[in-house]
Homo-oligomer: A and B are copies of this chain.
Amino acid sequence: MVNIYQSSRNNRGLSGVAQSEPAQPEIKTSVPGPKTKALLKDLSSLQQADSVQLFADYDKCFGNYFVDADGNTFLDAFTQISSIPIGYNHPELLKAFNEEHALRSLINRPALGVFPGSDWPQKLRSVLMEVAPSGLNGVATMMCGSCSNENAFKTVFMWYRKKERCGKIDFTEEEMTSCMDNRPPGAPKLSILSFKGAFHGRTFGALSTTRSKPIHKLDCPAFDWPVAPFPRYKYPLEENQRENDKEDERCLEQVADVIENYKKKANPVAGVIVEPIQSEGGDHEASPAFFQKLQKICNQNGVALIVDEVQTGCGPTGRMWCYQHFDLPSPPDVVTFSKKMLTGGFYFNVETKPSHPYRVFNTWMGDPGKLILLEKVLNVIKNEKLLENVNETGTVLKCGLHELEKEFPNLVNSVRGRGTFLAFNSGTTECRDKINADLKKNGVLGGVCGEFAIRLRPALVFRKKHAEIYLDILRKTLKAI
């Protein structure tokens, strides 16, 4: 496989300091170092910044390596909360705005719902529709994951109410008046079902479906929307199949019950939103059978199935969309995306588009500049066969993690995931947090999620050699605990 970092030179003639990857991490100061501490103090005088871990020197970051303000070099297995698809300073991205038309598309940002550029329909086709989930022929662009989910909900509510009106697209006088006072029937009692442990964003609609951690939700009013349990499997999967199958059944029964209950309490479920792998909530996976049966329940109840691929989408599981691992008999009704896709948005069936304009709408409706970058990203994924790389690297990583699981049974368990979208648990939250903090001190950036998990979220250009470095440093870290 061609190493993209050797084969390409930026033809813009940049005198960039970072033109190739370092051989390995290098930690020169305490972590966080003195410069990082000073910057954090400065930033904290302007905003709540306690979540900031490191300040980056983005001129020096390259490929899978992140360089901080103190000159420390980290192997990045977290990639900006899973949002850097092909590594830092990729030559193809540095070239993306060389072409004058691309630059003008970036700086003349239109209101895409009113005055899109003449190349916009073609761009949607050649970029977003080129990788569209099979069977979904419509797409809307948005700004971020939260607003992609919010607008997916709106689309689903409109579709649901249209069904209730038997396809009529006219609104009654009472609907028009009552909606202005936030009352039914115009602002109807309708709900979205989500799963315990789910994360779908932080704006008020999305937040009402997020169920991962109290800190995300405390003090924020929320809709009376229902929640159902998501499977919690025992590992290794092959030794616990019967028990895990039962767990699927337990969860699915409750989904059906909740849909029934919310129908009775006159707040019917219009849509179910689900992550193919619950990410922020703890990297909980569910079986293809679970998703097949979930879709069946949705179909039987006239409820839309929304698959949230904000974190799983764009390749990290070894397929473009994670749900493609599930062999669903028909596509989900809506698939939402953001992060590695660089633009937010959602795919849907264009026959279910809203009846009128200005219903799923906002000033910008996305950003053409992000589609220009995404086009380069998708080309690199294709040309460099990065989905194959994800599968190959993922195998190395997973095997390595299984070995560590045997070697350190008190520190590592429940290795799981697909592609390089992997995770393992530690016995306690404290222990998990210590492993992750020590990893960082040893030169590896990783993420935590849920109560006990460390998650791997490398870029799609994370190769076998990076996996080996990751595993070496993890072993060293575990040994020292």
Select from chain B the residue with minimum beta-carbon distance to A149: B203
Residues of B within 8 A of A35 (CB): 118
Q: A46-B137, A182-B224, A205-B204 are in contact. Are A83 and B111 (CB under 8 A)?
A: yes
Residue among B124, B183, B222, B358 making CB contact with A46, cutoff 8 Å: B124
Q: Decide if A107 touches B89 in the complex (CB within 8 Å).
A: yes
Residues of B within 8 A of A182 (CB): 208, 217, 222-225, 227
Q: Which of A124-167 contact B (CB under 8 A)?
A: 124-125, 129, 137-140, 143-147, 150-151, 153-154, 157-158, 160-161
Q: A51-B358, A114-B51, A217-B186 are in contact. Are A93 and B121 (CB under 8 A)?
A: no
Select from chain B the residue with minimum beta-carbon distance to A58: B108
Q: Decide if B115 touches A359 in the complex (CB within 8 Å).
A: no
Determine if A175 is an interface residue (Cβ-Cβ < 8 Å): yes
| Interchain CA distance A111-B222 in the complex, whole Å | 26
Q: Decide if A14 touches B100 in the complex (CB within 8 Å).
A: yes
Residue among A45, A111, A117, A221 with the most chain B CB within 10 A?
A221
Q: Decide if A211 touches B80 in the complex (CB within 8 Å).
A: no
| Interchain CA distance A359-B35 in the complex, whole Å | 26
Q: Decide if B359 touches A216 in the complex (CB within 8 Å).
A: yes
Residue among A100, A171, A187, A213 with the most chain B CB within 10 A?
A187
Which secondary structure dominates chain A's binding surface?
Answer: loop
Q: Decide if A176 touches B111 in the complex (CB within 8 Å).
A: no
Interface mask (A199-236 → B, CB under 8 Å = 1, otherwise 0): 00111111010010111111111111101000000000
Determine if A22 is an interface residue (Cβ-Cβ < 8 Å): no
Residues of B within 8 A of A179 (CB): 214, 217-220, 222
Q: Decide if A203 touches B45 in the complex (CB within 8 Å).
A: no
Determine if A443 is an interface residue (Cβ-Cβ < 8 Å): no
Determine if A251 is an interface residue (Cβ-Cβ < 8 Å): no
Residues of B within 8 A of A129 (CB): 46
| Interchain CA distance A190-B177 in the complex, whole Å | 24
Residues of B within 8 A of A51 (CB): 113-114, 357-358, 361
Q: Decide if B125 touches A46 in the complex (CB within 8 Å).
A: yes
Residues of B within 8 A of A69 (CB): 118
Determine if A324 is an interface residue (Cβ-Cβ < 8 Å): no
Residues of B within 8 A of A158 (CB): 218-219
Determine if A293 is an interface residue (Cβ-Cβ < 8 Å): no
Q: A157-B219, A157-B221, A218-B359 are in contact. Are A47 and B81 (CB under 8 A)?
A: no
Q: Decide if A350 touches B117 in the complex (CB within 8 Å).
A: no
| Interchain CA distance A339-B362 in the complex, whole Å | 11
Q: Decide if A203 touches B111 in the complex (CB within 8 Å).
A: no
| Interchain CA distance A61-B357 in the complex, whole Å | 26
| Interchain CA distance A369-B175 in the complex, whole Å | 42
Residue among B42, B122, B154 making CB contact with A220, cutoff 8 Å: B154
Minimum CB–CB distance from A201 to chain B (whole Å) comes to: 7
Q: Decide if A103 touches B113 in the complex (CB within 8 Å).
A: no
Minimum CB–CB distance from A278 to chain B (whole Å) comes to: 14
Interface mask (A227-257 → B, CB under 8 Å = 1, otherwise 0): 1000000000000000000000000000000
Minimum CB–CB distance from A222 to chain B (whole Å) comes to: 4
Select from chain B the residue with minimum beta-carbon distance to A218: B179
Given contacts A160-B219, A179-B218, A338-B363, 20 further A-B contacts (CB under 8 A): A43-B116, A46-B138, A51-B358, A52-B114, A56-B108, A56-B116, A59-B100, A80-B114, A84-B109, A96-B107, A107-B373, A144-B363, A145-B362, A145-B363, A147-B147, A151-B203, A154-B219, A171-B214, A180-B227, A182-B224
Residues in A lying within 8 Å of B, measured CB to CB:
14-16, 35, 39, 42-43, 45-59, 61, 66, 69, 80-81, 83-84, 88-90, 93-94, 96-97, 100-101, 103-111, 113-118, 120-122, 124-125, 129, 137-140, 143-147, 150-151, 153-154, 157-158, 160-161, 171, 175-177, 179-183, 186-191, 201-206, 208, 211, 213-225, 227, 338-339, 342, 350, 353-354, 356-364, 369, 373
